Amino acid sequence: MLNLNSVPAGEQREFDLIPAGSIVRAIMSIKPGEISLPEYGAGNWFKAARETKAKWMDLEFTVIGGPYDRRKFWDKVFVDGDKLGASGMPEAKEIGLRTLKALIDSAAGLDPSDMSPQAQQARNLPGVGALNGVEICAKVGIKKGTNGYKDTNRLMVAMTPKDNGYLPRDGSQYTQHVPAQPAFQQQTYAPQPVQQQPQMMTSGAVPAWAKR
């Protein structure tokens, strides 16, 4: 039995949303799913709708540094659906694959047009599970709430070095873009050594504090 009568009184904290358009560094976690899709590698990373062909991954992002340090936001990457796109594959899959490539390019600090052997190797994954725990540069958006639910933050786009305002992993240009907010001071962000070639965090290396 769980008796909560003796819990000390106190107010629950309710955060304001991260302003839309804010640019942050964040660790990405893939939430466990119900099914596996062999073409995306081993692991049950996906969920499926009951009445449509829709299949997706649930992603959680934990901000690193700045005024929103350790704040979280979420998004989904759809990889199947009913509507076919111009290529003949489901439109949701077309968009999902582009999103996955953008996440890899952001994590590895790659220009999307870079087709060097090193860049191609960075994009060649054993499966989507390799993206669990990577660190990306993200532009944060706001998803409007429906059916009585409040608005929530979401991933607007995974940013790459070609994008204006991109924040590198080494922190050398970490002047965080926060609309109508003071600039984040660089000294509060601990720089990491500059990578000499595209590298991503090891799969599954999600810090304990990012799992809360």
- Looking at the DSSP assignment, which residues form a beta bridge with residue 48? 55
More confident residue, 65 or 192: 65
The pLDDT-based confidence of 75 (bands split at 50, 70, 90) is: very high
Mean pLDDT value across the chain = 83
The pLDDT-based confidence of 119 (bands split at 50, 70, 90) is: very high
More confident residue, 63 or 202: 63
Can you give the chain as a three-state secondary structure string?
A: CCCCCCCCCCCCCCCCCCCCCCEEEEEEEECCCCECCHHHCCCCCEEECCCCCCEEEEEEEEEECCCCCCCEEEEEEEEECCCECCCCCEHHHHHHHHHHHHHHHHHHCCCCCCCCHHHHHHCCCCCHHHHCCCEEEEEEEEECCCCCCCCEEEEEEEECCCCCCCCCCCCCCCCCECCCCCCCCHHHCCCCCCCCCCCCCCCCCCCHHHHC
Give this prediction's pTM: 0.77
Mean pLDDT of 66-94: 93
**What pLDDT, on a 0 to 100 scale, did the predictor assign at position 171?**
57
**What pLDDT, on a 0 to 100 scale, did the predictor assign at position 207?**
58
> Per residue in 180-208, pLDDT tens?
443 333 333 333 333 444 555 555 556 56
Query: Cβ–Cβ contacts within 10 Å for residue 186, how many?
Result: 14
| Domain ranges (residues) in the chain | 23-182
